Chain A
Amino acid sequence: MEFSDLIRTGRAQAKLLRGPEAPPLRGTLCLTGHHLLLSPGPQATSELWLLLLRSVDSIEKRVASDSGTITLRCKDLRVLQLEIEGVEASLDIARSIEALSSLESVITSFPFFYRPKGLRLGDAWHFHPPERYYKRVARETNAWRLSEVNEDFSVCPSYPRAVIVPRSVDDGALARSARFRQGGRFPVLSYHHAPSGTVLVRSSQPLTGPQKRRCAEDEELLRAVLAGARPGARGFIVDTRSSQAAKQARMTGGGTEAKTAYPGWKRLHRPLERGQPLQESFVRLVEACGDPQQSTDSWLCRLEGCCWLAHVKEALSTACLAAQGMEREGACILVHGAEGTDSTLLVTSLAQLILDPLSRTMAGFQELVEREWIQAGHPFQLRCAHSAFSHARPKHEAPTFLLFLDCVWQLGRQFPLSLEFGEGLLLALFEHAYASPFGTFLCNSEKERCLCEVRTRTHSLWSGLNQPKEQRKLRNPLYAPNPLAIWPSVELQSLRLWQGLFLRWIRPPEPSEVAWEKVWQIVTDKEKTKLSQPTVSASEPQL
């Protein structure tokens, strides 16, 4: 298939409106396979305006007698309006954008064509493999080993090639345990908490089914988890479904760990919303934020009706529960829901941020996202196919990753000094998860990424972000390493709507960005003062 087949009209004269704050742009509109460009013409001073077609979430067209208006709602929640000369041209362009923005094929997507200056293909892709995390674990304990049982993705298609498992369990047992877990996601190490010697483990639900099947190897695996921590250690299984839902899952072949089969483990149910209800909550929230007719006196009721903050609260408090179990009770924690690719990862990654100071650094957080989301098999392509504006009925879309970012933002707000990165990084991750010139968030699993040769044919977002010129936007100037666990207050009174994301295009970006810039200035001034000192002393003799 050629892109040119989908481009009905390549260019037209247009005016672009980018919200109340930015001035409108006029010029020639061009459509390419991956971008929408607006060239302001030779005499204009403003720069070329560019939009990745992939980031268009929904498109709406209206025609008048001799022109058309296209409203583009983007995945990063921006709303753009194009006024195009000529009815035919505008309809053609609208249809072309529609077709090009929803192409399913991964290998024709823009990351496979993006070749930015200053970056080399293959860089940064090997920054954060599980092998690297294993090196850290091996320094702290020898109860765990790196297994390559999933070398060819046959044991678990959504796991990476290498996973960290109890040393005493051999690969054969792992493979058999995998057959007892949905999608083959047998329990693997997520995080080793060195101060208490306990571990955070994640998996999918066991396939107990209506017959209450058991699996000796799976039981052995979880026994080994406890034994590896210390003799007689206890464990908690945090099931992210209600006990009712977990019971019902048995009818379709799933289920929960039976008490008798797993001595030492205690099951706790902490239902977290996932899938469609979560997506709907996101859609409602974005709708409420962007509603110009919103009568202001019922804003808080409407915000409450969206339930988004309630989901933030639930996610944070479940993560706190898991973290508390490890830090305060000295217990091992296994987290799973059904598939173990959504709310499970939400809980394990947040628990690590609470407990592990290293994960709160710039590099550590990137590693956490890579290890606990991308490599752990969160299906980004399915979940982020559409953002909040799509009219299509959601199939697999769910803003689980956004919920994670929001929770991290809440942590950052409550602990303004403890995260090395700032809101800028979280916003960048949100944007790139939904539409990106980089390959990092492509596909649903390592297996798919291998098949598409993502690592060799696209650039990694991390190398894009870690360029020096990006740092000021992404880092927290106030960061001071904090060796302690950071326990957030999860009460609704302590949580805020993430204005920087949800109201980003509604509120003028000024003062907060200006403020951020000033804080940077104040903090970095010390170094500059130091640098300028020798200049002064050197010039003094001349005076």
Chain B
Amino acid sequence: MSLLRGLLGMELIETSVRLFLDFQEKLASLDSALILDVPLGVISRIEKMGGATSRGENSYGLDITCKDMRNLRFALKQEGHSRRDMFDILTRYAFPLAHSLPIFAFLNEEKFNVDGWTVYNPVEEYRRQGLPNHHWRITFINKCYELCDTYPALLVVPYRASDDDLRRVATFRSRNRIPVLSWIHPENKTVIVRCSQPLVGMSGKRNKDDEKYLDVIRETNRQISKLTIYDARPNVNAVANKATGGGYESDDAYHNAELFFLDIHNIHVMRESLKKVKDIVYPNVEESHWLSSLESTHWLEHIKLVLTGAIQVADKVSSGKSSVLVHCSDGWDRTAQLTSLAMLMLDSFYRSIEGFEILVQKEWISFGHKFASRIGHGDKNHADADRSPIFLQFIDCVWQMSKQFPTAFEFNERFLITILDHLYSCRFGTFLYNCESARERQKVTERTVSLWSLINSNKDKFKNPFYTKEINRVLYPVASMRHLELWVNYYIRWNPRIKQQQPNPVEQRYVELLALRDEYIQRLEELQLAGSAKLAEPSTSPAGPSPMMPHVHTHF
């Protein structure tokens, strides 16, 4: 697939949406037409290869690098100078920002019967968590994004901290990202709080308000003597950050806190690691030393560290030992990974389709993971150092968890892959821009369609037939290298040799199973109704409880 040879009779249908190539594959073994479907948003780089003087059949044409682990190479004929036109059009539409054109999501007029933008309502989500309560309040201090321009408008903070306190704390936290609540344990009331690094700097600055504020957070749980701080970074990186004004909470300044480093590397390390993964899977899969080459990319090792960190966060909170404060440098990459994964482990609600959408919407989109910079939507600067696969890494961690707990998630693999596909496609507004304030300025919810509209209007396609709802079960995945595996169906999906063998029968069977499940659940409800009706009328059925009641209970 990497080298599409012999493009005779190729028809290039170009819309501003995607690049469709429809041509007869010339291989004798394949009679069917091969259709290549590439959303233009996925294109990272377009290059011309070969010049007017190049010889050889495939030496002249276009080389397209994609964000989703593939490269496409089109060999073109030199006659007619069609290449320049094609190059210009492709560049225009693949990188609209550089040409003052709107991103495709703003032109997309798709209609769905549900509105994905209504999925996440912060007030409702906090209410579900039991907030506000005696110790935590909802504040609108950031209504106009004046306190922190990369935070959402609505924040949950300790009841005992006044708005003025918050403003003073903001001066001591990188980009004003103050510690705010992400999740509260329904029983033991310990919390996960997220923020950015403190601005300690070389001189070891202290801030009384910040110190007091962290103590107020600790005191929301009376029995806890220490607040646990997880700094996602490796120790050395945290120290090095002092040189640029950042740093971490020192023991001297924060008596009632314990700090641990989680050794997760920064966006640049992750980008290079994924680049190495791409090198060994595309265009040709590394054959001779597959496992050791895979190991040398360190991708799985990074996954392991992220998962291990999240497990520690989840364990602290679930055991009620301590509340947890998580930060990295700016608190929008590793921090988002850790809080959202820990929440996924702790709270079964987030393992449903809508729950997961809310989780992404809350911990990633509203809290300012810089999707625009990390993905580079519509931007032609493919070498931008701000790009990094942080969100992909999060989804990979979720996939690893779903492998280890095959019945714990309502969604299937296709759901995760669809999210990743539309992370790049620019067909929906969901992942556009860096933060909520920017989205509001651009009126994204009014002018674009949400990815959740697509998914929620056809939920069955994304459901896991083996899902069994369990409340209050904490999932601790095994984060050892022995139990992690490369997500072949995502990273190597373009390789025809690795293609899943019979996706259709499997999906068909899963659909059948889903139908079975629904039928059964409906049946169960009817039985329960019948049973309770019977119990309510003891005079008419003196024979005692319904004979099928025990039967009903054995299943749930």
A residues near B (Cβ < 8 Å) are 289, 296-301, 303-304, 309, 414-417, 478, 480, 482, 486-489, 491-494, 496-497, 499, 503, 506-508, 511-512, 514-515, 518-519, 521-523, 525-526, 528-529, 532, 535-536, 539-540, 542-543
Q: Which one of B186-194, B242-250, B291-299, B381-389 contacts A?
A: B291-299
Q: Are A539 and B534 in contact (CB under 8 A)?
A: yes
Chain A CB within 8 A of B222 CB? no
Q: Are B483 and A503 in contact (CB under 8 A)?
A: yes
Q: Are B295 and A539 in contact (CB under 8 A)?
A: no
Residue from the set A300, A492, A503, A528 with the largest chain B CB neighbour count within 10 Å? A300
CA distance A414 to B466 in the complex (A): 18
- CB proximity of B146 to chain A, nearest CB, Å: 46
- CB proximity of B405 to chain A, nearest CB, Å: 5
Q: Are B482 and A503 in contact (CB under 8 A)?
A: yes
B residues near A (Cβ < 8 Å) are 281, 285, 287, 289-292, 294-295, 300-301, 304, 404-408, 465-466, 468, 478, 480-483, 485-486, 488, 492, 495, 497-502, 505-506, 509, 513, 516-517, 519-520, 523, 526-527, 530, 533-534, 537, 540-541, 546-548, 551, 555
Report B-chain residues with C-beta under 8 Å of the C-beta of A518.
407, 466, 468
Of A478, A503, A507, A525, the contact of B509 (CB 8 Å cutoff) = A478
Of A296, A492, A514, the contact of B481 (CB 8 Å cutoff) = A296
Q: Are B516 and A301 in contact (CB under 8 A)?
A: no
Of B495, B497, B520, B540, the contact of A522 (CB 8 Å cutoff) = B520
Of B304, B498, B520, the contact of A494 (CB 8 Å cutoff) = B498
- CB proximity of B325 to chain A, nearest CB, Å: 27
- CB proximity of B429 to chain A, nearest CB, Å: 35
Q: Are A526 and B292 in contact (CB under 8 A)?
A: no
Q: Are A301 and B295 in contact (CB under 8 A)?
A: yes
Q: Are A536 and B541 in contact (CB under 8 A)?
A: no
Nearest residue in B to A529 (C-beta to C-beta)? Answer: B523
Q: Are A297 and B519 in contact (CB under 8 A)?
A: no
CA distance A491 to B499 in the complex (A): 11
Nearest residue in B to A503 (C-beta to C-beta)? Answer: B482
CA distance A425 to B533 in the complex (A): 45
Q: Are A492 and B520 in contact (CB under 8 A)?
A: no
Q: Are B290 and A539 in contact (CB under 8 A)?
A: no
Q: Are B291 and A492 in contact (CB under 8 A)?
A: yes
Q: Are A304 and B483 in contact (CB under 8 A)?
A: no
Report A-chain residues with C-beta under 8 Å of the C-beta of B498.
489, 491, 493-494
In order of increasing CB-CB distance, the 3 nearest A-B pairs are A300-B295, A304-B291, A299-B481
CA distance A296 to B509 in the complex (A): 38
Report A-chain residues with C-beta under 8 Å of the C-beta of B478.
507-508
Question: Contacts A299-B482, A536-B548: A515 and B295 contacting too (C-beta < 8 A)?
Answer: no
- CB proximity of B152 to chain A, nearest CB, Å: 34
Q: Are A417 and B466 in contact (CB under 8 A)?
A: no
Report A-chain residues with C-beta under 8 Å of the C-beta of B483.
499, 503, 507
CA distance A508 to B501 in the complex (A): 30
Q: Are A414 and B501 in contact (CB under 8 A)?
A: yes
CA distance A191 to B547 in the complex (A): 52
A-B contact sample (8 more), CB < 8 A, given A296-B304, A532-B551: A296-B301, A300-B294, A478-B509, A489-B499, A522-B513, A525-B516, A525-B517, A536-B548
Of A297, A511, A526, the contact of B405 (CB 8 Å cutoff) = A511
Q: Are A299 and B295 in contact (CB under 8 A)?
A: yes
- CB proximity of B502 to chain A, nearest CB, Å: 7
Nearest residue in A to B301 (C-beta to C-beta)? Answer: A297
Q: Are A297 and B485 in contact (CB under 8 A)?
A: no
Q: Are B540 and A543 in contact (CB under 8 A)?
A: yes
- CB proximity of B70 to chain A, nearest CB, Å: 15
Residue from the set B285, B289, B301, B505 with the largest chain A CB neighbour count within 10 Å? B505
